[in-house]
Amino acid sequence: MAKKLHLPSTIHISGIGRRTFAFLLDLVFILAGIFAVYYALGRPAILNNNGYQETVASRKAYIEAPELLEYKDGRYNYILLNAYNEETKVYGYETYSKQVWEYFTVFLPAHADYAFIPPKFVKSQGEKITTIQESDRNNPKVVGQWTYENFFKSDYFVAAVDEKGDPDYTKQPLLSEKASKIGADGLLEQRTNLRDFFANSAKGSGSYVDAVENLITQQTIADYDNAILYKQWAAYVPSIAISPLLFLLLIPMLLPHGKTLGKLILRLGIISEEGYAAKKSSLLIRQGIISLLFAVLLIPYLYAALMIFLFTSILFYMSMVLSKSGQGFQDKLARTIVINTKTSIWFASEEDQREYAESHPNSLVAQALNNDESKKTYFHTKEDYGVFDSSMIGEARKKAEAIESFDDFEKSEEQLAKERSEAAAKAAENKAKAEAEAKKAKQEAAKASQEKALHEQASSASILKGVETKEEPSETPDQEGFTDE
């Protein structure tokens, strides 16, 4: 069962939407920091000194050597030819045929670092390719036959023949009898069909496309690509390490209440789940966990790193959305909550809170501390910006049960809060007035008691005086009688 947070009404937990905006702002700062550190440190100090440029140049030379591709606008592209070039009077299939034949029978045998069948090589039409031994690399007949059977054999081409009429696989294949009969009516169609046999742009297939695929799947190119990615990654390591630590750990530890720049802008802060200022150790745990989230970007494989980062981020976000108290994994482990600092009042400790309440008996803090009803459970915050919280159903049910009239139902949360605040202030005012009246009555009672005591004292004094006055005449006759005698 989830732990319920009992907080005074002077503390307002931040809404999901507000926290999301704050995180997005922090993400912008982090990304800006990553690029800033990269261009200030990673690129000039690491990338330009770890052989990156040399590796890129070697890869470029390796790809361009067979002359199968053209480099344009920062990328390599297929060489696309027309079925017939009116200016040069050259058929497109003739150029493709020469390129494919020379690539497999001349270029590959002369370059041992190019394999005849790379591990990931697959023909464009998905046809199975026959094997060839590396030991036959310098055997023109074997290489020619392998090339003819896998990339030329069709209705359009036949093997060349020697003087005896036997297949001569050391020579480029010839057009078949069917393909050679180009009539005037079928000239354009025949040119196009021959061109498409090598490079069908609509289907992405053909013998020329297969030759290019053979080139780009060479293991050497894959090795160059991995080396380039590793060197780039090494240049980004300082950026990915420094920027998140700066914006998610160092700044929150230096600013009050664990504020990141995003939280500072949106006026959010972090306190303990008991409702008091969070300890440095709690802030360190919380921000350290979030910093580790960005640490997955240090994985050398960018795609895997991004997938893990996105998946982990979604888990953290859902843990916050589905939590009744709005606490994500990091908050639950650190025992913290994120609050709206603009509308909240909190203290460093319970002692400080009680001391303030005693010195300010009419303050909201004193009312919240003295009123048991002011301590409530936050199932979710009012500032949810439309983000659904699973606890909203239960809270809505409780609100519905508490409705006494449609007037109350139509009132906004702010109006109800304002009315409750005014009612609390009025109650405090009445209490203070009653205490003043009681004090005044006590003073009046004391004054009346004092006056009564003085009156009784004065009455006693008058009685005594009257007795003395009454006894004096009786003594005089006695004295006189005594004298006469």
Q: What is the pLDDT of residues 442-466, one digit of tens each?
A: 887 788 777 777 776 666 655 555 5
Same domain, residue pair 381 and 271: yes
pLDDT for 129-177, tens place per residue? 888 988 899 999 999 999 999 999 998 899 999 988 899 999 999 988 8
In a domain, 484, yes or no: no
Report d(CA 174, CA 188) in Å as an integer.
20
Instruction: Indicate the pLDDT class of residue 284, thresholds 50, 70 and 90.
Output: very high
Same domain, residue pair 238 and 208: no
Closest of 315, 327, 256 to residue 286, by C-alpha: 327
* Number of independent structural domains in the chain: 2
pLDDT for 337-390, tens place per residue? 999 999 888 889 888 888 888 888 888 777 777 764 444 444 334 444 334 444
Instruction: Give 245-254's long-range contacts (Cβ < 8 A, gap of 24+).
Output: 245/291, 246/33, 247/26, 247/29, 247/30, 247/33, 248/26, 248/30, 248/287, 248/290, 248/291, 248/294, 249/284, 249/287, 249/288, 249/291, 252/283, 252/287, 253/280, 253/283, 253/284, 253/287
pLDDT for 465-476, tens place per residue? 554 444 444 443
Q: What does the pLDDT read at residue 177?
A: 80
> Which of 11-20, 65-74, 291-300, 397-406 has the weakest average pLDDT?
397-406
Report, as an integer, the average pLDDT of 250-256.
Answer: 95
Same domain, residue pair 86 and 27: no
In a domain, 409, yes or no: no
Last residue of a domain, one of 340, 374, 402: 402
In a domain, 332, yes or no: yes
In a domain, 378, yes or no: yes
Q: What does the pLDDT read at residue 407?
A: 52
Same domain, residue pair 117 and 141: yes
Last residue of a domain, one of 402, 429, 446: 402
Please determine, for residue 70, whether its predicted confidence score (pLDDT) is greater than 50: yes
Instruction: Indicate the pLDDT class of residue 277, thresholds 50, 70 and 90.
Output: very high
Same domain, residue pair 38 and 57: no
Last residue of a domain, one of 196, 224, 252: 224
Report, as an integer, the average pLDDT of 32-56.
Answer: 93
Same domain, residue pair 168 and 247: no
Question: 140-151 vs 92-102: helix axis angle to the nearest 10?
Answer: 140
Coil, helix or strand at residue 4: coil
Domain span holding position 164: 52-224
Q: What does the pLDDT read at residue 369?
A: 72
| Pairing of the two strands 157-158 and 90-91 | unpaired
Whether the Cβ atoms of residue 185 and residue 130 lie closer than 8 Å to each other = no
Beta bridge partners of 6: 377
Token pair of 161, please?
Answer: 């023949």
Residue scoring higher pLDDT (478 or 261): 261
Same domain, residue pair 118 and 243: no
Report, as an integer, the average pLDDT of 62-70.
Answer: 95
Q: What does the pLDDT read at residue 395?
A: 56
CB atoms within 10 A of CB 275: 21
In a domain, 388, yes or no: yes
Q: What does the pLDDT read at residue 472?
A: 46
Q: What does the pLDDT read at residue 179?
A: 74
Beta bridge partners of 174: 158
Query: In Å, what is the CA distance from 25 to each residue of 224, 264, 466?
Result: 37, 10, 97
Please, is 122 exposed, middle or buried when counting C-beta atoms within 10 Å of its C-beta (0-12, 13-18, 19+)?
middle
Instruction: Indicate the pLDDT class of residue 215, thresholds 50, 70 and 90.
Output: very high
Same domain, residue pair 88 and 213: yes
Q: What does the pLDDT read at residue 202?
A: 85
Please determine, for residue 312, whether its predicted confidence score (pLDDT) is greater than 80: yes
Rounded to the nearest 5°, which phi and psi values hold at 215? -70, -50
Rounded to the nearest 5°, which phi and psi values hold at 363? -80, 165
Same domain, residue pair 203 and 103: yes
Amino acid at 129: I
Token pair of 95, please?
Answer: 């150029």
CB atoms within 10 A of CB 270: 26
Instruction: Indicate the pLDDT class of residue 101, thresholds 50, 70 and 90.
Output: very high
Q: Which of 212-221, 324-333, 459-468 has the highest mean pLDDT?
A: 212-221
Residues 6+ apart with CB under 8 A from 2: 323, 324, 325
CB atoms within 10 A of CB 264: 19
Same domain, residue pair 80 and 193: yes
> Which of 23-37, 94-108, 140-154, 367-381 has the weakest average pLDDT?
367-381
- Secondary structure (DSSP) of 232-281: HHHHHHHHHHHHHHIIIIIHHHHSGGG--HHHHHHTEEEEETTSBBPPHH
Report, as an integer, the average pLDDT of 168-188.
Answer: 74
Closest of 10, 31, 29 to residue 264, by C-alpha: 29
Same domain, residue pair 176 and 317: no
Report, as an integer, the average pLDDT of 400-422.
Answer: 57
Please determine, for residue 62, whether its predicted confidence score (pLDDT) is greater than 80: yes
Whether the Cβ atoms of residue 69 and residue 63 lie closer than 8 Å to each other = yes
What is the pTM for the complete model shown? 0.63
In a domain, 432, yes or no: no
In a domain, 196, yes or no: yes
Token pair of 19, please?
Answer: 């926290």
Report d(CA 230, CA 293) in Å as an integer.
21
CA atoms within 13 A on the CB side of 50: 17
Report, as an integer, the average pLDDT of 95-118.
Answer: 94
Same domain, residue pair 125 and 174: yes
